[in-house]
């Protein structure tokens, strides 16, 4: 034998090793996708079992599916869907699937179960076979048992609708198919609701509801008594003993002045059904004989009880109010009529009225002259704009009768008002009090004062609006001019028109002589330093626009100046206000209104007039002066000091001097103009007494930046 070479042995060893390392074959996987484990499915529904199967190292050769131990299908190709046989009875079923791959390995699904649930039966109520006065024969049919045996079937009924086996019922066997039954011991002439029923393990199902009415007869009724007889009314009493097998549709008392009344005469209904009832007979004629019977009606007809008779009493009259007309602020015409004297003589009739409702003869009364059944009167002395309630009345020996009440409103008039004297008169405003003595019988919708400078003011002139209501009110005149005569009066308006009070007048105050500005304390003792060295000297005063004036323009600034002084300065203005220590101070920016190069005054106390143009939007504004070191650094700067002051020194500036004030007073005023629409106003206004007391070390920039 020839020996193998070493190379040959090595190749054999490698091939053997490779074959040994090859992977081992794996089985397939298999699972049920639907229905879910534990699913409950109604009987009769189609059931499809869907299986998922795969093999990672081969192919699926076959998938089989079982219900219990019963094979229901086998599939070689995807999708693996299997139908549960139709007609499978209700119950719990285990299902499984087995997958086999191409190498013969298999896999089985995990434990899986479904429940097929029974459903309710299907039952039909068929036609009635016969109907009597106390029984009904009828048919029914069970068409489907719902997958479970029918344990009970029959008919159920009631008289209210939607019957069930909890009401009345009869059982008629079990199973599928038609069945018949007789329902007995029913009431005559009554409507019954009947339904077939069938029961299995799932529950009870009802068929369609049949409405069946048993045969009827006419009711049986009895006239019991008449009571509470009055002049125009009485009470009749009856009883429906038996409805005759049909619902009593109407029952009551019929009556007449003639014997043997029927429902074709007068009648009062007493409701429906069986039992005792009472009816109040109304609108009877006093002192008259009446005949009455109880009656009852069903679908078969009307029956009557025995006839009774009674006689009404003598009663009070009956009266009506026909209408009212010709309503004015102070009067109205009323018309009435006596309908019945109550079987007695009328001793008094007429009208009564008041302002609160339900008038009687204890209120205001207008009597007639007893000239007949119809009567009318003109009622006078009424209040304007007032709601009245009026009724006619008539009286006999029995008593007093009233008609229905009519309501009417007298016409309103314009309000009546009182103008009182003007109070708190100032330069630009005043106050007065208004009083509405009578609202004219109507709501006051607007009130106030109106005024002008020509006389007989109206709401077309200047006016205030103090709202509605008739209370006493206070109103303020605004935007007035100083030293001017004004005419005014109170007005009040309602839906009728405007009422005015007496015209009165007043004069606004004349602007006072110049108001000399002092420190708030009035104490200028000692030296008040403003600035030092060559820095411009500054002071300012505060002004306030007249109340309710909007944007206005400063057109003139007047200064009171010391005589025989030459000086140069700028007039400046500040728009805004800031507060420090509780006091108002000007806030920038600085607006230069006028730059004055040189002014020389020849006499003490003259006004120096400077025309300027500055629009003011704020309520407060400031006018200031500062010396101009560029225009005249060596010029003195003095303000007028009144003769009453012994000290005539003012503000000045010189070489290395300090600007000081030694008990000096200042006066500045401005002229403003205001235009709104077609209205224009103008006025001199004085300054508020404020003075900025700065130390001599305060830089001028800080002063103007506040």
Placement of tokens 């995807």 in the chain = 78
Say how far apart CA 155 and CA 140 lie, in whole Å: 8
Which residues have C-beta within 8 Å of that of residue 460, sequence separation ≥ 6?
Answer: none
How many Cα atoms sit within 13 Å of 277 on the Cβ side?
Answer: 24
Q: Is 700 helix (H, G, I), strand (E, B) or coil?
A: helix
Give the model's confidence band at 582: pLDDT under 50 very low, under 70 low, under 90 confident, else very high: low
Q: Shortest CA distance to 668 belongs to which of 602, 569, 534, 580?
A: 569
In angstroms, the Cα distances linking 683 to 189, 271, 561, 669, 686 are 103, 89, 22, 11, 10
Left if phi > 0, otherwise alpha if psi is -120 to 50, otherwise beta: which for 661?
beta
Q: Shortest CA distance to 413 belongs to which of 495, 336, 358, 474?
A: 495
Whether 483 shows a pLDDT value over 60: the answer reads: yes
Whether 327 shows a pLDDT value over 90: the answer reads: yes
Say how far apart CA 637 and CA 640 lie, in whole Å: 10
Whether 704 shows a pLDDT value over 50: the answer reads: no
Percent of the chain with pLDDT over 90: 41
Pairing of strands 191-200, 152-158: antiparallel
pLDDT of residue 521: 32
- Encode burial over 662-683: b for 16+ CB neighbours within 10 A, e otherwise: bbbbbbbbbbbebeeeeeebeb
Question: What are 261's two structure tokens?
Answer: 């009344």
Give the model's confidence band at 590: pLDDT under 50 very low, under 70 low, under 90 confident, else very high: low
**Average pLDDT for residues 119-124, to the nearest whole number?**
90
Question: What are 431's two structure tokens?
Answer: 């106050």
| Local structure of residue 414 (DSSP, 8 states) | -
Q: Which of 635 and 296 is assigned the larger pLDDT? A: 296
Topology of 122-213 in CATH? Immunoglobulin-like (2.60.40)
Spatial contact of 149 and 196, defined as CB atoms under 8 Å apart: no
pLDDT of residue 556: 72
Percent of the chain with pLDDT over 70: 72
Spatial contact of 141 and 150, defined as CB atoms under 8 Å apart: no
Placement of tokens 């005469």 in the chain = 265
Say how far apart CA 626 and CA 569 lie, in whole Å: 6
Give the model's confidence band at 586: pLDDT under 50 very low, under 70 low, under 90 confident, else very high: low
Please give the CATH superfamily to which domain 416-507 belongs: Immunoglobulins (2.60.40.10)
Identify the H or E element spanning 423.
strand 416-423
Spatial contact of 153 and 205, defined as CB atoms under 8 Å apart: no
Question: What are 520's two structure tokens?
Answer: 């708030």
pLDDT digits (tens, 9 = 90+) for 486-543: 999 999 999 999 999 999 999 988 754 433 333 333 333 333 333 333 334 445 566 6
Say how far apart CA 193 and CA 527 lie, in whole Å: 117
Question: What are 153's two structure tokens?
Answer: 């079937």
Pairing of strands 203-206, 220-227: unpaired
pLDDT of residue 244: 85
Q: Shortest CA distance to 212 belongs to which of 87, 125, 288?
A: 125
| Domain residue ranges of the chain, discontinuous segments joined by + | 29-117, 122-213, 220-311, 318-409, 416-507, 538-705
Fold match between domain 29-117 and domain 416-507: yes
Spatial contact of 181 and 194, defined as CB atoms under 8 Å apart: no
pLDDT of residue 42: 81
Q: Which of 523 and 163 is assigned the larger pLDDT? A: 163
pLDDT of residue 602: 46
Is 0.85 surpassed by the pTM of this model? no
Say how far apart CA 89 and CA 87 lie, in whole Å: 6
Give the model's confidence band at 652: pLDDT under 50 very low, under 70 low, under 90 confident, else very high: very low
Say how far apart CA 447 and CA 318 lie, in whole Å: 49
Placement of tokens 């499984």 in the chain = 96
Pairing of strands 498-500, 485-493: antiparallel
Q: Shortest CA distance to 528 belongs to which of 703, 706, 696?
A: 696
How many Cα atoms sit within 13 Å of 112 on the Cβ side?
Answer: 22
Q: Is 292 helix (H, G, I), strand (E, B) or coil?
A: strand
Strands (E), 68-209: 70-75, 80-83, 91-101, 106-108, 112-117, 122-131, 136-144, 152-158, 168-171, 177-183, 191-200, 203-206
Say how far apart CA 672 and CA 545 lie, in whole Å: 9
| Domain 318-409: assigned CATH number | 2.60.40.10
| Domain 29-117: assigned CATH number | 2.60.40.10
Residue 484 burial (C-beta neighbours within 10 Å; 0-12, 13-18, 19+):
middle
pLDDT of residue 362: 95
pLDDT digits (tens, 9 = 90+) for 330-368: 999 999 999 888 878 888 999 999 999 999 999 999 998
Placement of tokens 């005043």 in the chain = 430
| Domain 220-311: assigned CATH number | 2.60.40.10
Number of H helices, E strands in the chain: 2, 48
| Local structure of residue 481 (DSSP, 8 states) | -
Out of 96-100, 576-580, 684-688, the most confident range is 96-100
**Average pLDDT for residues 80-89, to the nearest whole number?**
83
In angstroms, the Cα distances linking 91 to 66, 68, 72, 116 are 16, 12, 17, 5
Q: What are phi and psi of 444, to 5 degrees?
A: -75, 115
Which residues have C-beta within 8 Å of that of residue 702, sequence separation ≥ 6?
Answer: none
Q: What are phi and psi of 15, to 5 degrees?
A: -65, -40
Residue 407 burial (C-beta neighbours within 10 Å; 0-12, 13-18, 19+):
exposed
**Average pLDDT for residues 155-159, to the nearest whole number?**
95
pLDDT of residue 332: 94
Placement of tokens 């013969």 in the chain = 104
Q: Which of 15 and 590 is assigned the larger pLDDT? A: 590
Whether 550 shows a pLDDT value over 50: the answer reads: yes
Least confident of 145-154, 207-216, 566-575: 566-575
| Local structure of residue 146 (DSSP, 8 states) | T
In angstroms, the Cα distances linking 508 to 457, 487, 549 are 17, 11, 17
In angstroms, the Cα distances linking 17 to 12, 287, 619 are 9, 140, 111
In angstroms, the Cα distances linking 21 to 10, 33, 105, 522 are 17, 37, 21, 121
Strands (E), 18-59: 29-34, 39-42, 48-54
pLDDT digits (tens, 9 = 90+) for 3-40: 556 665 665 555 454 444 445 788 999 999 899 988 88
């Amino acid at each position: 034998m020839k020996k193998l070479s070493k190379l040959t042995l090595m190749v054999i060893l490698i091939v053997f090793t490779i074959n040994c390392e090859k992977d081992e074959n794996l089985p397939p996987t298999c699972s049920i996708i639907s229905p879910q484990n534990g699913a409950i499915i109604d009987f009769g529904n189609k059931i499809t079992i869907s299986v998922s199967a795969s093999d990672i190292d081969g192919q699926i050769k076959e998938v089989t599916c079982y219900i219990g131990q019963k094979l229901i299908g086998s599939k070689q190709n995807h999708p693996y869907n299997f139908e549960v046989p139709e007609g499978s009875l209700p119950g719990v079923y285990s299902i499984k699937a087995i997958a086999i791959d191409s190498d013969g390995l298999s896999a089985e699904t995990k434990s899986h179960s479904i429940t097929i649930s029974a459903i309710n039966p299907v039952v039909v109520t068929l036609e009635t076979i016969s109907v009597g006065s106390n029984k009904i024969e009828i048919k029914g049919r069970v068409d489907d048992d719902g997958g479970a045996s029918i344990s009970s079937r029959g008919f159920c009924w009631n008289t209210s609708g939607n019957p069930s086996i909890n009401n009345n019922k009869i059982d008629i066997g079990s199973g599928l198919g038609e069945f018949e039954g007789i329902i007995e011991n029913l009431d005559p002439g009554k409507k019954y609701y009947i339904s077939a029923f069938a029961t299995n393990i799932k529950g009870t199902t009802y068929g369609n509801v049949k409405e069946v009415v048993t045969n009827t007869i006419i009711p049986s009724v009895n006239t019991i008594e008449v009571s509470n007889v009055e002049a125009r009314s009485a009470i009749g009493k009856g009883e429906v003993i038996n409805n005759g097998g049909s619902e009593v549709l109407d029952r009551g008392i019929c009556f007449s002045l003639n014997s043997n009344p029927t429902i074709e005469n007068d009648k009062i209904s007493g409701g429906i059904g069986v039992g005792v009832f009472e009816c109040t007979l109304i609108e009877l004629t006093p002192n008259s004989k009446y005949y009455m019977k109880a009656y009852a009606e069903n679908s078969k007809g009307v029956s009557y009880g025995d006839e009774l008779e009674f006689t009404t009493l003598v009663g009070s009259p009956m009266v009506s109010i026909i209408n009212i007309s010709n309503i004015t602020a102070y009067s109205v015409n009323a018309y009435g009529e006596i309908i019945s004297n109550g079987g007695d003589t009328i001793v008094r009739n007429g009208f009564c009225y008041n302002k609160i409702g339900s008038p009687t003869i204890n209120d205001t009364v207008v009597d007639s002259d007893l000239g007949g059944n119809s009567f009318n009167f003109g009622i006078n002395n009424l209040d304007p704009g007032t709601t009245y309630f009026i009724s006619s009345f008539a009286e006999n020996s029995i008593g007093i009768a009233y008609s229905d009440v009519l309501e009417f409103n007298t016409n309103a008039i314009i309000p009546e008002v009182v103008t009182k004297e003007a109070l708190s008169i100032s330069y630009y405003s005043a106050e007065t009090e208004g009083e509405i003595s009578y609202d004219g019988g109507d709501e006051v919708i607007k009130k106030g004062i109106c005024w002008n400078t020509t006389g007989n003011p109206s709401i077309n002139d200047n006016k205030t609006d103090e709202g509605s209501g008739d209370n006493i009110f206070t109103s303020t005149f605004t935007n007035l001019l100083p030293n001017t005569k004004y005419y005014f009066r109170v007005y009040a308006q309602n839906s009728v028109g405007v009422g005015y009070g007496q015209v009165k007048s007043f004069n606004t105050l004349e602007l006072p002589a110049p108001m000399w500005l002092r420190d708030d304390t009035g104490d200028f003792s000692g030296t008040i330093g403003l600035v030092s060295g060559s820095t411009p000297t500054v002071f300012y005063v505060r002004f306030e626009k007249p109340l309710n004036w909007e944007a206005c323009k400063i057109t003139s600034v007047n200064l009171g100046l010391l005589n025989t002084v030459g000086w140069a300065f700028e007039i400046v203005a500040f728009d805004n206000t800031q507060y420090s220590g509780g006091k108002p101070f000007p806030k920038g920016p600085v607006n230069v209104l006028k730059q004055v190069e040189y002014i020389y005054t020849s006499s003490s106390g003259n006004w120096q007039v400077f025309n300027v143009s500055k629009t003011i939007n704020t309520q407060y504004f400031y006018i200031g002066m500062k010396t101009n070191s560029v225009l005249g650094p060596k010029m003195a700067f003095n303000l007028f000091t009144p003769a009453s002051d012994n000290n005539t020194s003012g503000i000045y500036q010189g070489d290395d001097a300090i600007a000081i004030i030694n008990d000096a007073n200042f006066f500045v005023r401005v002229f403003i103009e205001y235009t709104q629409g077609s209205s224009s106003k103008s006025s001199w206004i004085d300054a508020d007494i404020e003075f900025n007391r700065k130390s001599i070390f305060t830089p001028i920039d800080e002063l103007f930046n506040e």
